[in-house]
Structure 1
């Protein structure tokens, strides 16, 4: 009997390994749109091209800007989102316009003086190409920059092309639908926190649902991925921003970002941002860490130089949207007579509603809170269906 059990266990491990190997192979076969030049280069020939790109905009080992220039595409302007063209600016930091030293192409920040470039600037272009790796979370601002540039392109009467990339959180659809009164740059569309769409699919939905001015006039072109299904695991080859350095941080980001509206640190200023959380005045766990100032990723982070006690999530298998950590923090803070949501307005913008914060403060469980979202999520799933490109 013992031998039979060992054989059965061995077969189970072999089957699991086989499935894992297949998943890895499938992920390795994914070809991002930028690596499919036959699908888009001809459309850019003879055009004055503007690029909305950052450090993730790679064609193999070559940046898209350099790749297009090597292929005789007339790139005349680069637009830089949050974190800058090279991705070396801290979250929320003002991004200045400049000249790219390598190519001599002028760079215009759309995360500084304005979120949408002036009409006269766009009238010098024929097409804008968007190629940025997103993480599939509503409050990650690259999709907000895409929204404004789509609107600017529509108003200027020029084409907008999206080169698609995988959504590393594409398996999940979760969180409250954004309510109109809580619309901001960290939440512009009536979609859930985790929407399960790629940027090309979302662009199609933004146009189709008329979420931008003059949506019906926008000449939108989307170049899809090859060999992609949204439930595939995808490890990002380039960090999408300084404080999301690896797959673990990207997976935990949808849950931990809500702590940004509280006094609690999420590890900014350490080697493990968005992979831990802690506080100095309340022992939230046995893990000790101390944030330090790190130019380019965490200049003067929250609780800088203080000894914090919290939870290390670097080995956690949590994915999707997990409210338990936030609920636990609320219980601990309330017990000590402290206010967790010290920036309630920011919390509500991140959540896209004030109902989530109020439910946590009222002591509701994660299951109760998530149940309140289900009708909205069902409606969203049906609404997004016409715009999907992948299984």
Structure 2
């Protein structure tokens, strides 16, 4: 995320065409591009969770300092919102906030809420917001999973959208402005928002269809395949099971010390479309069960169009509880923040199956799917 002073952002006037072939692919950071352009007075850089350069692990940031490449001040925004973030924008002397961060399509991936917080803070401070849109790497044909209920709002979900939203950051920005940020109160100016659209991207496209190389947006998002599984397997953060952090394939490989082949067998027996569950063993180098041999499951997605990551994640929760005696929810009920209510936890504990749990959120999901239609920008 970068901040530019002044409104002469001519560099951004043309569509952000990610799909034009080129003889040599040039991948400079946006900060370097804007800093080198005489038409833009770039005065500061802001870093979200994971930091400006994306080096910090989950729940961390890189702090405040100076970018060695440009000499620009870098402000740490992680954990800041509302008037506090607005005050930072004002102190930095910016007029326009430019948002350019790759999302992965899941409600609890926090960059979209950094966008939301920046939009709200910009409205409070009287600043403009420009979003440089990027592909949703897992496609955008459908929304999936439970819709957040407001009593469970947090930084992994500020507003009632579905767990897998099927939208781009630019589309979400329009949704936020049109549905949620209008509620900020009469003293708050409307969000001055501009979305620079992509050309060439279609809703059925997965990331490998863009022709672009994958640049990991955070340390545990190494490949597009990780992003495909993430909306489901990240639910294991709400348990004592490892979600694969500390391995080469986080979120595709899950397990725990003491779990065994029965979990993979039970998960595969569910017959969920588009995915196979294979017995696996691994030793995480950090995070949960660090340095200990874990038994668990590797997800093998063989049909991306049919695969529903949220149902797969629910299936893993249901079968882990049935097959591993050591299964436990995190004591802080983090699973409720991730799923958006206590319903999944309560139903899993009651012995409900995947389809019964999915049926419980069906009406709310249909409502969100209808709402999002008015904000979609791409065919």
Relative to the length of structure 2, the TM-score reads 0.81
CA offsets 1:250-291 (integer angstroms, 9 cap, x no match): 111111111111111121111111111111123245422101
Q: Is the 8 A contact 2:86 2:122 kept in 1?
A: no
Q: Is the 8 A contact 2:50 2:56 kept in 1?
A: yes
Q: Is the 8 A contact 2:159 2:180 kept in 1?
A: no
- Alignment correspondent of 1:143: 112
Give the 5 Å matches for 1:200-219.
Answer: 200-211=170-181, 213=184, 217-219=190-192
| SS of alignment partner, residue 145 of structure 2 | coil
**Is 1:152 aligned to residue 118 of structure 2?**
no
Cα drift, residue 315 of structure 1: 5.9
**Is 1:244 aligned to residue 221 of structure 2?**
yes
**Is 1:287 aligned to residue 280 of structure 2?**
yes
- Alignment correspondent of 2:51: 84
**Is 1:320 aligned to residue 287 of structure 2?**
no
Query: How far apart in 2 are the matches of 1:191 and 1:66?
Result: 34
Would you identify which runs of 4 or more consecutive aligned residues in structure 1 move more than 4 Å? 112-116, 314-319
- Alignment correspondent of 1:24: none
Cα drift, residue 313 of structure 1: 2.3
Cα drift, residue 120 of structure 1: 5.7
| SS of alignment partner, residue 226 of structure 1 | coil
| SS of alignment partner, residue 287 of structure 1 | strand
**Is 1:262 aligned to residue 239 of structure 2?**
yes
Query: How far apart in 1 are the matches of 2:135 and 2:370?
Result: 21
Q: Which has the larger radius of gyration?
A: 1
CA offsets 1:121-160 (integer angstroms, 9 cap, x no match): 4361110000000011100000111111101110111110
Counterpart pick for 1:64 among 15, 18, 30: 30
Query: How far apart in 1 are the matches of 2:132 and 2:203?
Result: 16
Cα drift, residue 44 of structure 1: 6.9
Structure 1 residues 237 and 145: CA distance shift in structure 2, 3 A:
same
Counterpart pick for 1:370 among 349, 358, 363: 358
Cα drift, residue 228 of structure 1: 1.3
Q: Is the 8 A contact 1:130 1:160 kept in 2?
A: yes
Cα drift, residue 341 of structure 1: 1.3
Q: How many residues align?
A: 330
Query: How far apart in 2 are the matches of 1:128 and 1:152?
Result: 10
**Is 1:348 aligned to residue 336 of structure 2?**
yes
| SS of alignment partner, residue 249 of structure 1 | helix
Structure 1 residues 149 and 328: CA distance shift in structure 2, 3 A:
same
Root mean square deviation, CA, Å? 2.3
Structure 1 residues 234 and 44: CA distance shift in structure 2, 3 A:
closer
**Is 1:302 aligned to residue 295 of structure 2?**
no
Q: Is the 8 A contact 1:267 1:291 kept in 2?
A: yes
Q: Is the 8 A contact 1:154 1:213 kept in 2?
A: no
Q: Is the 8 A contact 1:264 1:279 kept in 2?
A: yes
Query: How far apart in 1 are the matches of 2:75 and 2:133?
Result: 22
Structure 1 residues 146 and 175: CA distance shift in structure 2, 3 A:
same
Relative to the length of structure 1, the TM-score reads 0.79
Query: How far apart in 1 are the matches of 2:149 and 2:59?
Result: 23
Structure 1 residues 100 and 249: CA distance shift in structure 2, 3 A:
same
**Is 1:228 aligned to residue 201 of structure 2?**
yes
Q: Is the 8 A contact 1:251 1:319 kept in 2?
A: no
